[in-house]
Structure 1
Amino acid sequence: MRKILIIAAAFAPLAACSTVAETVRGPELAPIGYPAALVPVQQAYMPAPGGRDATPASANSLWRVGARTFFGDQRARHVGDILTVQISIDDQAQTRNSTQRARTNSASGGVTHFFGLENSLGRAFPGGFDPANMVGTEGAANSAGSGSVNRSEKVNLTIAAVVTDVLSNGNLVIQGRQEVRTNREVRELTVAGIVRPEDISSANAINHTQIAEARISYGGRGDISRMQTTPAAQSLVERFSPF
């Protein structure tokens, strides 16, 4: 038992650190469920076999110098290939619920004969005793609740993603990251998920609605984001305060 307590005490600070880090930095995106873990952000690319010093074709050849293929499909299929992800989110949701409940009940009971002592009980209760109303109960309950949701989101962005893995059934795992810096503010866009090769258009592009297990994040960091963020001490107090 003592060993268990020592182990629990050793891992308790780790759990606390994780909670504190989440409070300070904000919630993290959940990992993709299939496959179980998101691929590393740093993607290694495979150099072209034989290098880029290809022998140029003759002047009458239909083959263009530097072309990757002649009749082949130019859409992303292999690890390291790039495809365009078009993000166009325009969602609106409005929900309003209201519930009211009320209930009242009462019950009473009496004893007409109780070993002939029903009349003598009045002496023990100087305030008066009625055998016909010897037992009585009453109850009342009221409940009222209401809730509403009004949400509107609109995002239009385009990002290039990299194929990071090819699953056994041919589906592609993609991941893209884009950062744009303006003065002292960095806007960051990340996208990850699983796509079918059949859904990729002839322009080597795909819509975000065709990405399974999609994880899309758009935010920023810098002076403006820091001024709009709740201070860390205030976030800790609001999270752990019992009141």
Structure 2
Amino acid sequence: MALMLAAGCANTSQKPIPDDPYYAPVYPEQPATKVEVTGSIYQDSQATGLYSDMRAHKVGDIITVVLSESTQASKSANNDIKKGSDLTLDPIYAGGGNLTIKGVPLDLAYKDSMNTKRESAADQSNSLSGNISANVMQVLSNGNLVIRGEKWITINNGDEFIRLTGLVRSQDIRPDNTIESTRVANARIQYSGSGTFADAQKVGWLSKFFFSDWWPF
């Protein structure tokens, strides 16, 4: 019972929560600007260039990641092991006749065989599509951007969330400030949920014990 409880506690992970500080957005520092009173509506220090690039390129900018993930894996294994042994010892001839013990001829015959066959197969496929906007957390020396973001959606009695972290090249960002998820390096994409519906899909701690390495059979 103690082992079962330990296995159950070991498989219990901390539930994700909204507003996790790790996924908190980064706000760029607002530089102090000196406003000169010229009587004109146009202020050169606060204006954005007419032909400036609107793609994310600095800390605090927002970039939209187009999720287009699809994975498929299949595996099969077949094992067929056969083994046989056959040993025969004819009656021993000595002294003009067969050697006997209490009238029984001394001979030996042994034969055994083993046949083991195992088959296993696994097939899994997953797909994820949608959009998520992430925050630029850091600009590396080579111009690559470290992005991180999350999205929470409350549906009935549960919460659905998507979390994403990774590295993107500024060259891969489209003019509309979007990028394909397949172009995000070291991507960590997490899609899950919490609440009544999510808990109903989880395996109980006793079942986890029977499927874990602690179960000796």
2:65 counterpart of 1:85: yes
Task: Give SS of 1:142's match.
Answer: strand
Unaligned runs of 5+ in 1: 1-15, 29-38
Q: Which amino acid aligns with 2:13?
A: R
Distance 1:233 1:120, change over 3 A: same
Aligned partners of 2:26 and 2:59 also within 8 Å? no
Deviation at 1:129, TM superposition (A): 1.4
The one-letter amino acid paired with 1:154 is S
Q: CA deviation at 1:212?
A: 1.5
Which one of the candidate residues 184, 198, 208 is aligned to 2:171?
198
Residue number in structure 2 paired with 1:46: 28
Letter in 2 for 1:165: Q
Distance 2:174 2:26 in 1: 25
- Give the counterpart letter for 1:204 in structure 2: N
- Greater mean alpha carbon deviation, residues 219-228 or residues 230-239: 230-239
How has the CA–CA distance of structure 1 residues 208 and 54 changed in structure 2, closer, same or farther, with 3 Å as cutoff? farther
Q: TM-score by structure 2 length? A: 0.72
CA distance in 2, matches of 1:207, 1:94: 26
Q: 1:25 is matched with which residue?
A: 13
2:102 & 2:143 partners in 1: Cα distance?
Answer: 88
Q: Secondary structure at the match of 1:40?
A: helix
Structure with the higher strand share, 1 or 2:
2
Structure with higher RCO (Cα < 8 A, 6+ apart): 2
Change in CA separation of 1:125 and 1:66 when aligned onto 2, cut-off 3 Å: farther
- In the TM superposition, 1:171-182 aligns within 5 A as 171-182=144-155
Distance 2:140 2:27 in 1: 18
The answer to whether residue 145 in structure 2 is matched with residue 160 in structure 1 is: no
Query: For the residues of structure 1 that align with 2:66 and 2:145, how far apart are their CA atoms?
Result: 16
Alignment size in residue pairs:
208
1:203 Cα offset (Å): 1.3
Once the two structures are TM-superposed, the CA of residue 196 in structure 1 deviates from its matched residue by 1.6
Give unmatched runs, 5+ long, in structure 2. none
Q: Are the equivalent residues in 2 in contact too, given 1:57–1:64 (CA < 8 A)?
A: no
